[in-house]
């Protein structure tokens, strides 16, 4: 007996196709390069969590957590809380520095959603480190492929990409970690598609809702996966149907292009930010640093600064902003601010954002011009170029051009991860956390990793 048209459509729906690939993702098939990347992504997320745990949005996120019958860890704190609350808090803290990992093709920060959700779920049932790693790779794959198909400049001008890709990616990863069958994973993905949200108005005002987008996504992903495990049914065509996610953005046909693990795994496309600022400010800030080091100019000697970036960078909300800078987030989003700060301070660091109204800094911003480079636009997102030209008042010209962002390498990520742990816990515990990540593939209980970090925060007056 042939299948009905409805059954055939459900069988080929995007959520079902994603579910099959996620279910089939096996640890044994992962390359050594992919395994190494998962370690770096874990270190990057955990390091950011511990560095940002004192910030206002981190404290606000933790304040909502309630103790649960099945407790999960808010990293660096003693209380075991409801898994969805732990995922929410850890995601917000992971996003707190604006230095999270970046997947350019989907314009998304996948690690700050996928990893907190998986850490929470790992404490609800026995799961191995190998299953954790496979689920993590699958989550990055889903978010990367869906985001590549869906995101464009127009959508990203209004909607937060991570708020769209994040819940779907993390729900697929959590469902895989929970051992759900294909149909269960499809239900989790479809349920998560109904929770996608986040607008980019924050970029125009400096509002802190940006930090909570990751928390909403991680919490909703955990909830979607647990609902699917409880037997909830969702439309298989929630992503690609006539009234589904892709259709809501007028891109239903693009859903047909989503094919998981068709080529290099998407986790390998992720880079780690060297600058604690917006993705699109990374390359121009690095170019500015190169230019000013060759120029040896005092700020008062700079007559003009020209910045060239891809169209995606110039048009992303908040990136083309010359002040006023009422909040740190406005400064972290502004390409002009980040270039001016690099020229002024001769470095790229969190301390660049300590004095938003410094006269020398505001002067440099005032003589800065941002322009779109057609060649960089054509090369994006494969390459994310940036160029800076400094003109002295006397007429001398100093240029620096980068074809692509120079990411923080594995050693840099590891160093800042260890520094963050050292500031938050004793050396023995820090070494145990480091070793647990290194040996995660051999760990029979993945919950050991977050539980090692269920410790009181040190020296910052941060309540548990």
The CATH number of residue 364's host domain is 3.30.1330.120
Give me 203's structure tokens: 């970029």
How far, in Å, CA of 157 to CA of 320, rounded? 12
Residue 464: is its pLDDT beyond 50?
A: no
CB under 8 Å to 392, separation ≥6 — which residues?
A: 295, 297, 301, 302, 303, 398
Q: What is the pTM (predicted TM-score) of this model? A: 0.93
Burial class (CB in 10 A: 0-12, 13-18, 19+), 347: exposed
Q: Is residue 287 part of a domain?
A: yes
Range of the domain at 194: 5-272
* 311 vs 154: CA distance, rounded Å: 12
> Do the beta carbons of residue 128 and residue 232 sit within 8 Å?
no
pLDDT at 6 over 70: no
Which of 244, 272, 300 is the last residue in one of the domains? 272
Structural domain count, the chain: 2
Asked whether residue 124 is assigned to any structural domain, the reply reads: yes
pLDDT at 200 over 70: yes
Among 4, 26, 24, 5, which residue's Cα sits nearest to residue 16?
Answer: 24
Phi, psi of 81 (to 5 degrees): -125, 175
**247 and 284 belong to one structural domain:** no
Paired strand residues for 307: 370, 388
DSSP-assigned beta bridge partners for residue 372: 309
Residues 285 and 267 in one domain: no
Residues in the chain: 464
Q: In the predicted model, what is the mean pLDDT of the chain?
A: 94
Domain endpoint, select from 272, 304, 335: 272
Query: 462 falls in which pLDDT band (50, 70, 90)?
Result: very low
CA distance 160 to 106: 11
Give me the CATH number covering residue 78. 1.10.4100.10
Comparing CA positions, the residue from 213, 208, 182, 186 lying closest to residue 197 is 213
Query: Could you report the per-residue pLDDT of 246-295, keeping only the tens digit for each?
Result: 999 999 999 999 999 999 999 999 999 998 999 999 999 999 999 999 88
Q: Count of CB atoms within 10 A of residue 29's CB?
A: 12
215 and 74 housed in the same domain: yes
pLDDT at 69: 64
Q: How confident is the model over 407-437, as pLDDT tens digits? A: 999 999 999 999 999 999 999 999 999 999 9
Alpha carbon of residue 157 to chain centroid: 17
- Residues near 156 by beta carbon (within 8 Å), at least 6 away in sequence: 107, 200, 312, 316, 317
Q: Which two tokens stand for residue 177?
A: 């970690």
Of the chain, the percentage scoring pLDDT greater than 90 comes to 89
Predicted confidence (pLDDT) per residue in 63-73, tens digit: 999 876 668 99
272, 307, 338 — which closes off a domain? 272
Residue 435 lies in a domain: no
222 found inside a domain = yes
In the prediction, which pLDDT does 2 show? 53
HSE at residue 180, side-chain half, CA atoms within 13 A, is 32
Quick one: 84 and 201 in the same domain? yes
In this structure, the answer to whether residues 394 and 350 fall within a common structural domain is yes
3-state secondary structure (DSSP) of residue 241: coil
Do 189 and 298 lie in one domain? The reply is no
């Amino acid at each position: 007996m042939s299948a009905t048209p409805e059954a055939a459509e459900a069988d080929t729906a995007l959520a079902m196709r994603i579910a099959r690939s996620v279910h089939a993702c096996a640890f044994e098939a992962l390359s050594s390069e992919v395994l190494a990347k998962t370690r770096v992504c874990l270190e990057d997320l955990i390091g950011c969590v511990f560095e940002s745990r004192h910030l206002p949005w981190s404290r606000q996120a933790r304040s909502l957590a309630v103790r649960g019958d099945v407790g999960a860890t808010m990293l660096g704190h003693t209380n075991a809380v409801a898994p969805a609350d732990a995922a929410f808090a850890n995601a917000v803290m992971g996003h707190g520095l604006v230095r999270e990992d970046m997947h350019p093709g989907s314009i998304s920060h996948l690690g700050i959603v996928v990893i907190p959700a998986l850490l929470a779920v790992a404490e609800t049932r026995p799961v191995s480190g190998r299953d954790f790693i496979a689920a993590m790779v699958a989550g990055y794959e889903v978010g990367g492929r869906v985001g590549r198909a869906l995101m464009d400049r127009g959508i990203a001008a209004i909607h937060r990409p991570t708020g769209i890709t994040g819940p779907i990616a993390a729900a697929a990863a959590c469902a895989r970690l929970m051992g759900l069958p294909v149909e269960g994973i499809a239900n989790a993905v479809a349920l998560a598609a109904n929770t996608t949200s986040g607008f980019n108005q924050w970029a125009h005002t400096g509002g802190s809702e940006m930090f909570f987008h990751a928390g909403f996504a991680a919490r909703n992903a955990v909830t979607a996966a647990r609902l699917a495990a409880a037997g909830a049914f969702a439309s298989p065509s929630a992503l690609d149907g006539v009234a589904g996610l892709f259709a809501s953005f007028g891109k239903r046909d693009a859903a047909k292009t989503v094919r998981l693990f068709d080529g290099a795994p998407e986790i390998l496309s992720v880079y780690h930010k060297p600058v604690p600022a917006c993705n699109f400010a990374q390359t121009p800030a690095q170019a500015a640093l190169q230019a000013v080091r060759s120029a040896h100019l005092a700020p008062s000697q700079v007559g003009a600064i020209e910045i060239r970036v891809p169209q995606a960078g110039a048009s992303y909300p908040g990136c083309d902003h010359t002040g006023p800078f009422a909040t740190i987030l406005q400064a972290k989003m502004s390409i002009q601010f980040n270039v001016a700060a690099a020229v002024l301070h001769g470095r790229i660091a969190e301390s660049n954002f300590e004095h938003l109204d410094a006269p020398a800094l505001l002067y440099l911003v005032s003589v800065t011009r941002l322009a779109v480079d057609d060649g960089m636009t054509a090369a994006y997102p494969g390459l994310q170029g940036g160029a800076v030209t400094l003109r002295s008042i006397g007429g001398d010209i100093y240029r620096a051009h980068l074809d692509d962002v120079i990411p923080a390498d594995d050693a840099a990520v590891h160093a800042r991860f260890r520094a963050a742990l050292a500031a938050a816990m004793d050396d023995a515990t820090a070494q145990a956390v480091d070793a647990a990540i290194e040996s995660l593939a051999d760990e029979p209980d993945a919950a050991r990793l977050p539980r090692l970090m269920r410790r009181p925060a040190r020296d910052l007056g941060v309540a548990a």
